[in-house]
C-alpha cells in the first residue's frame, strides 16, 4: 500500500472528480494521502477533505508563491493546526523562481513568512512541509538559524535540488520527498540524488494535479499515480517496489502520524 505524501485535492480539477479519484486510488493500492494547504482561504476546504475521509490528513500553511491573500500570523497557523487531522505546517519555504523583476531584498516578506511557519511548527511540534525553488541556500540558511531556537522536523517536498542541498537537508534531520519529476528523461542528476538518500528518509508524492509521472506526463496528475514514483525509486535503489511502498509508508507514519494526538 502506498501513501501520497503531498497532493492538492482541493484544487478544482481534482475536487470535482473526487469520487473517481478515490476509486482510482483504491484500485492502485494508494491507501492514504496528505492534502496540502496553500492559502488560509483554502484551509476549510482542505480540512474538510481530511475530516470527511478517514484516509486523508491535511496541513495548514501559506505557499511562498501566494500573494495578495491573507498573510498568516503564528497564531493563525497554530490555532488551525490544533484541529483534528491537521498533521503538518506548510507548504512553506522560499521560491525565487518568479521574481518578476524584484530583487532578493524585495523578497524579504517571503523569508519572514517562512519564519512564521517555522515558529508555528516549533509551537505545535508538527513537521514542516517545505517548498524550495531557486532558493536552496536561503532555505537551508533560515532552517539552520531557526534550529538554534529549537528542533524542527519535516520534509523537503517535490525535491529537485542538488546533492549538496540534499545532504544539508538530511543533516538538519529532514526527509526528502520525490515526485513524478524523478521519472522525467531530463532528471538524471535528481536520480543520482534519489540513489543517495537513505530509504528511511525518503517519501513519495504526486504534487497532483501537477507533474504527472511518466507514462502520464502532461496529463492531470492524481494520487493514484504515486506507485509510478515508487517504481522509479525502487529501480534506482535496486529494491522491490513493495519494499519502497512499505518503507515510505512507515516513514510517513513516523513523521506525520505518530506521537501526535492530531492524527485521530
Nearer to Zn ion, 109 or 150 (CB): 109
* Least CB distance to Zn ion at residue 148 (A): 26
Q: Is 131 in the site for Zn ion (CB under 5 A)?
A: yes
Taking the C-alpha atoms of residue 246 and residue 249, their distance in angstroms, rounded to an integer, is 5
173-192 residues near Zn ion, rule: CB under 5 A? none
61, three cell numbers: 500553511
* Least CB distance to Zn ion at residue 237 (A): 24
Nearer to Zn ion, 36 or 143 (CB): 36
- Binding part of the chain for Zn ion, among 28-36, 115-123, 179-187, 190-198 by CB under 5 A, reads 28-36
Binding flags for Zn ion, 30-49, as an x/- string (CB under 5 A): ------x-------------
Q: Is 117 in the site for Zn ion (CB under 5 A)?
A: no
Nearer to Zn ion, 40 or 234 (CB): 40
Binding flags for Zn ion, 197-216, as an x/- string (CB under 5 A): ----------x---------
Alpha helices in the chain (DSSP H): 12-15, 18-28, 43-52, 74-81, 108-124, 136-147, 163-171, 188-196, 226-237, 241-252
Q: Give the C-alpha distances (Å, rounded to integers) separating 225 from 40, 87, 180.
A: 28, 23, 9
Q: Is 43 helix (H, G, I), strand (E, B) or coil?
A: helix
Nearer to Zn ion, 42 or 91 (CB): 91
**Size of residue set near Zn ion by CB under 5 A:** 4
Taking the C-alpha atoms of residue 119 and residue 177, their distance in angstroms, rounded to an integer, is 22
* Least CB distance to Zn ion at residue 203 (A): 13
Quickly count: other Cβ atoms within 10 Å of residue 160's Cβ: 20
Nearer to Zn ion, 91 or 146 (CB): 91
- Binding part of the chain for Zn ion, among 15-23, 49-57, 86-94, 169-177 by CB under 5 A, reads 86-94
* Least CB distance to Zn ion at residue 239 (A): 26
Taking the C-alpha atoms of residue 180 and residue 214, their distance in angstroms, rounded to an integer, is 7
* Least CB distance to Zn ion at residue 197 (A): 18
Of all residues in this chain, which one has the CB nearest to Zn ion in the complex? Answer: 131
Q: Is 86 helix (H, G, I), strand (E, B) or coil?
A: strand
Sign of CA dihedral 26, 232, 199, 63: negative
Q: Which residues contact residue 156 at a Cβ distance below 8 angstroms, ignoring those fewer than 6 apart?
A: 130, 132, 165, 166, 169, 174, 175, 176, 177
Interface residues toward Zn ion, by CB under 5 A: 36, 91, 131, 207
Amino acid at each position: 500500500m502506498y501513501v501520497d505524501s503531498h497532493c492538492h485535492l482541493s484544487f478544482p480539477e481534482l475536487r470535482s472528480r473526487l469520487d473517481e479519484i478515490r476509486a482510482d486510488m483504491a484500485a492502485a493500492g494508494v491507501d492514504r494521502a496528505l492534502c496540502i494547504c496553500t492559502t488560509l482561504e483554502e484551509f476549510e476546504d482542505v480540512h474538510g477533505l481530511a475530516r470527511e475521509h478517514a484516509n486523508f490528513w491535511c496541513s495548514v500553511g501559506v505557499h511562498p508563491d501566494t500573494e495578495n491573500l491573507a498573510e498568516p500570523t503564528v497564531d493563525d497557523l497554530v490555532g488551525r493546526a490544533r484541529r483534528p487531522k491537521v498533521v503538518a505546517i506548510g507548504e512553506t519555504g522560499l521560491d525565487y523562481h518568479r521574481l518578476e523583476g524584484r530583487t532578493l531584498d524585495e523578497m524579504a516578506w517571503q523569508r519572514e513568512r517562512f519564519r512564521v511557519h517555522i515558529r508555528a511548527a516549533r509551537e505545535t511540534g508538527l513537521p514542516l512541509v517545505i517548498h524550495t525553488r531557486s532558493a536552496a541556500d536561503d532555505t537551508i540558511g533560515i532552517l539552520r538559524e531557526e534550529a538554534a531556537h529549537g528542533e524542527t522536523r519535516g520534509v523537503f517536498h517535490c525535491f529537485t535540488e542538488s546533492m549538496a542541498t540534499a545532504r544539508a537537508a538530511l543533516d538538519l534531520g529532514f526527509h526528502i520527498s520525490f515526485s513524478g519529476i524523478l521519472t522525467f528523461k531530463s532528471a538524471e542528476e535528481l536520480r543520482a540524488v534519489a540513489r543517495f538518500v537513505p530509504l528511511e528518509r525518503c517519501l513519495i508524492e504526486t504534487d497532483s494535479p501537477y507533474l504527472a509521472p511518466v507514462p502520464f506526463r502532461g496529463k492531470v496528475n492524481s494520487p493514484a499515480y504515486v506507485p509510478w514514483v515508487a517504481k522509479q525509486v525502487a529501480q534506482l535503489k535496486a529494491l522491490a517496489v513493495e519494499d519502497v511502498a512499505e518503507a515510505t509508508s512507515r516513514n510517513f507514519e513516523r513523521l506525520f502520524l505518530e506521537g501526535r494526538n492530531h492524527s485521530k
